[in-house]
Structure 1
Amino acid sequence: MKLRVYLYTTVRILFGVFLVLHSMYNVILYADFLQGLEMYFTKTTLFDYEFVKTFAPLVPFEEFTIGLFLIIGFSTRRVLMGAALLFSFLVFFLLDANSINLSLIHLVFFLISFILWKKEHYNLKSMDYSRGVHVMV
């Protein structure tokens, strides 16, 4: 049981660190990210809505927030649910844009989010609203 708790915590933190680093990379090269988005939107047929085009540039900031919350363990279940929704949307969006490789990568991210979400009972080493910070340490 103890090994599973540490494994869960390690995967959660590493996944969060990866998301934070990936989002920082996209924010640093934000002009390139926006050009890539524009390229994907020229190829899409199903996701060609103004609503999607309006919120798509916010994806790096959403990834940063999700990653940061995963690292510190704040509201982990809700964050993982949001991450699973975000990555499932990105999988379908990238499939629609004929970017199979990126779609498969985001499918792996979805699976990691979903597995961590379903195995939430091993999340004993994170910040929880029912416990104080001193109990975590």
Structure 2
Amino acid sequence: MKFRVYLYTAVRILFGAFLVLHSTYNVIIYSEFLKEIDTYFLKSTVFKYDLIEALAPLVPFEEFIIGMFLILGYYTKEVLISGSILFLFLSLFLLDANSTELSMIHLSFFILTLILWKKDNYNLKSVDYARHVDLII
């Protein structure tokens, strides 16, 4: 049982750290990131909506927030739900834009968020768990 708690915590923190680093990198090269998004939207056939194109530049900031909340352990369940929605959408969008490698990477992130969400009972080393115990007592 202890091993699973520590494994869950390590995966949660490492995944959050990866998201923070990846989003920070995308913000540093933000102009190149925007050019890449434009090329994906040119290739896309299903997701050619103005609202989606207007919200796409916010993805690195969303990844940063999701990563920070995962590292800190705040609202883990809600963050994993929003992260799974984001990664599933990105996977479908990249698949539509004929970028199957990136689509598979984001699909694996989606699966990882689902696993972490489903195995939430091992989230004993987070602030959420400590806050929940204080409310019960």
Instruction: Judge same fold: TM > 0.5, yes or no.
Output: yes
Structure 2 counterpart of 1:15, one-letter code: F
Matches within 5 A, 1:1-137: 1-128=1-128, 129-131=131-133
- Give the distance between the partners of 1:117 and 1:48, measured in 2 at CA: 31
- Give the distance between the partners of 1:104 and 1:130, measured in 2 at CA: 35
Q: Aligned Cα RMSD in Å? A: 0.8
Structure 1: gaps of 5 or more residues:
133-137
Deviation sequence 1:53-76 (CA, Å, 0-9, x none): 010000000000000000000000
User: SS of the residue aligned with 1:22?
Assistant: helix
User: SS of the residue aligned with 1:45?
Assistant: coil
Deviation sequence 1:31-87 (CA, Å, 0-9, x none): 000000000000001000011001000000000000000000000000000000000
Structure 1 counterpart of 2:75, one-letter code: S
Deviation, 1:130, is 2.2
Structure 2: gaps of 5 or more residues:
none
Structure 2 counterpart of 1:36, one-letter code: E
- Give the distance between the partners of 1:70 and 1:60, measured in 2 at CA: 15
User: SS of the residue aligned with 1:89?
Assistant: helix
Matched residue count:
132
- Give the distance between the partners of 1:85 and 1:106, measured in 2 at CA: 11
Structure 1 counterpart of 2:56, one-letter code: A
- Give the distance between the partners of 1:84 and 1:130, measured in 2 at CA: 23
- Give the distance between the partners of 1:47 and 1:65, measured in 2 at CA: 24
TM-score norm. by structure 2 comes to: 0.95
Deviation, 1:113, is 0.5
Q: List structure 1 runs of 4+ shifted beyond 6 angstroms.
A: none
User: SS of the residue aligned with 1:46?
Assistant: coil
Structure having the higher helix fraction is: 2
